[in-house]
Chain A
């Protein structure tokens, strides 16, 4: 069965420090992978996505993620965190099935940023 695991429930970093949020997935074929961000009281905004090709993908707000098939991982990274990056981050795996998109989400990682 398809699943997504985000091992870290909460992460705290200092402003300016680097960030890596972990995501592991279980899927039988090549997955479509996504990272979404949710600011407090807001909906989900797409940060980046991986469909195929280059395994290092760039997203908005200076984020990037690397797909590693051998490790079934799609970790999110940012070289220097800003206070405005404090939010909840969700990894998701998707599959086209009968013309619609089935998205499975991880439980999320809440990021706190210290000044």
Chain B
């Protein structure tokens, strides 16, 4: 049982480049989330998807877009990467009616 899988694990981008972070869960969870983690700031919610077919902005959505491709997959796209988006990105999921979140291993992104 893989849980939440994120790809890639590491990525270096040049300013202005685009990329998509992939996330998939195999727990049949309804809700999925993208967080970014920065030193001294904990985890901040970028976007979430309460259920398949819906997405909403979180605390820090600027510069990002998301797609809930199906129930399993939730991708995060950076259209034009900026150095301020250097961070560790975590995908998470929760089951319907529960509050326990399961996290992926993270993607360490550096924008130069």
Contacts and interface: CB of A to CB of B under 8 A. Distances in A.
B50 A99 contact: yes
Interface in B28-81: 30-31, 33, 35, 40-45, 48, 50-51
A32 B104 contact: no
B42 A99 contact: no
A75 B110 CA distance: 34
A76 B51 CA distance: 32
A107 B94 contact: no
Interface in A48-104: 49, 51, 90, 94-96, 98-103
Given A43-B105, A99-B51, A100-B30, A94 B99 contact: yes
Interface residues of A, number: 28
A42 B103 CA distance: 10
Contact of B100 (A34, A98, A106): A34
Contact of B99 (A4, A32, A41): A32
Contacts of A4: 42
B42 A9 contact: no
Interface residues of B, number: 28
A17 interface: no
Given A42-B105, A99-B31, A99-B51, A105 B100 contact: no
Given A42-B105, A43-B104, A44-B90, A96 B99 contact: yes
A47 to B, nearest CB: 11
Contacts of B105: 42-43
Given A9-B40, A99-B96, A105-B42, A44 B103 contact: yes
Nearest to A108: B42
A101 B98 CA distance: 7
A4 B44 CA distance: 12
Given A99-B30, A105-B42, A107-B40, A43 B106 contact: yes
B101 interface: yes
B100 A96 contact: no
A46 interface: yes
Contacts of A36: 103
